[in-house]
Amino acid sequence: MPHGMCYLWQPSLIWLHAASDTTIALAYALIPITLVYFVRKRQDLPFNWMFLMFGLFIFGCGTTHVMEVWTIWHSNYWLAGFIKLFTAGASVVTAGMLVWLIPTALALPSPDQLRATNVELAREIAARKRTEEALEQSRADLELRVHQRTAELADALLDLRAEMDRRQRAEHERQEAEKALRLAQGELAHVVRVTTMGELAGSIAHEVNQPLTAVVTNANACLRWMAASPPNLSEARDSVTRIVRDADRASEVIRRIRGLLKKAPPQVAPQDLNELIREVVLLLQTSLERNHVEAVLDLTPVAPPVVGDRVQLQQVMLNLVMNGVEAMTHVADRPRSLVVSSTVTESGQVEARVTDAGTGVAAPDLARLFDPFFTTKPTGMGLGLSVSRSIVESHGGRLWASNNTGSGATFHFTLPVVATS
């Protein structure tokens, strides 16, 4: 029985419904066409498939209105029912996909956030360049390259995070994005190491110059003993022995510096944390003396080996010790004491602590201390602690800071030990 029977075949009532349904169907047909045109013109738009799903759903709704007009004169209700069933299916799928998509869409960074990050990064780079204009030309060139590389890596990290948000639907693509992120963090860690070593250029030069000066002095002494008549071979031999000893000392300093500066994939192996601490403190000895800081080592006598990359763990310890030294720059009413200790926790991990006697960390800054580009130092880049936390966490550990009861602050980090069979 046609639908018109329900309208008692009254022309005015029939044409009211027919005109209304036809107008709605035309509007519903125009909306999907507009959405398809928009998606084709903006293929870079995230989640463009969602617009197509809405278009399919609206097209089904329009078709049901067309069938409303058709069934006024023809009783094809089975066809109308199947069209409604198709529309119902499309609506359920569209609604489900929309609910699934909402958390991902909300996680996308806004253009204002990206612009604010870029502005802050540009401000940090400009401030860093202004403070280093007084250094020698070679170091200025190095710092310029570091700033440029830091800006490129920061932009790459932002792009990578956006790419990871778009690829969450596939497990394989997510793993590829995480691999690229680890590589970028390794690049950034290398840049921070080069920057730190650049800041320590004076201390390193002094550390190398001492044994080289001794080599020259002993060499001259050896020449005098050999030129004597008769030559004093015993004294000459002692001079040569001292030359070899001092040359080995200079070689060891250079070896440690090259180890920190080299750019190589992480080499995970069992490490003696106490030995790493001693090497870093020895490397920074001249810097500690120049800043009138007394380094006190309080190391556990039996420290089980930890799993990690030697260079990366040295970088973490180097950053924490240098932060402790810089925190005591303006301390004049008490000894500048820096205590570096290690212990084994109740959970079986090895914990290292760096305790300074500085002014401590302001309470509001403790929560942001490890955020990228956050710094409390006038010339800081805000990357050292952020990279250090990334390194420690990638090794399965944890890095945090706390204020001391009296003065100063303590930085702690824990590392898992080598598993025993």
Instruction: Identify the CATH number of the domain in which residue 380 sits.
Output: 3.30.565.10
Beta bridge partners of 339: 296, 355
pLDDT greater at residue 152 or residue 178: 152
Choosing from 199, 215, 238, the residue where a domain stops is 199
Residue pLDDT, tens place only, 366-387: 878 878 776 766 655 666 788 8
- Does this model's pTM top 0.85? My answer is no
What does the pLDDT read at residue 188?
44
137 and 150 both lie in a single domain: yes
| One domain for residues 256 and 272 | no
CA angle 69, 75, 77 (to 5 degrees): 85
Q: Is residue 420 domain-shared with residue 288, that is, in the same domain?
A: yes
59-63, 195-199, 359-363: which has the highest mean pLDDT?
359-363
Asked whether the predicted pLDDT for residue 100 surpasses 80, the reply is yes
69 pLDDT more than 80: no
Distance CA(188)–CA(195), nearest Å, equals 11
Q: Are residues 52 and 156 in the same domain?
A: no
Is the model more confident about 140 or about 319?
319
Domain boundary, last residue among 159, 180, 199 = 199
Helices (H), 167-200: 171-199
283 plus 382 within the same structural domain: yes
* 252 and 274 belong to one structural domain: no
In this structure, are 372 and 408 located in the same domain?
yes
Assess whether 286 and 372 both reside in one domain: yes
Question: Residue 254: pLDDT band by 50, 70, 90 thresholds?
Answer: low
One domain, residues 231 and 366? no
Residue 56 CA to chain centroid, in angstroms?
Answer: 41
**Between these two residues, 294 and 4, which has the higher pLDDT value?**
294
Domain boundary among 85, 107, 129: 107
Q: At 74, is the secondary structure helix, strand, or coil?
A: coil
- As to burial, measured by CB atoms within 10 angstroms (0-12 exposed, 13-18 middle, 19+ buried), residue 163 is middle
- The pLDDT of residue 327 is 87
Q: Give the range of the structural domain holding residue 121, as residue numbers without chain letter.
A: 111-199
79 and 133 within one domain: no
123 and 85 within one domain = no
275 and 314 together in one domain = yes
pLDDT band with cut points at 50, 70 and 90 for residue 343: very high
Counting the structural domains of the chain, the total is 4
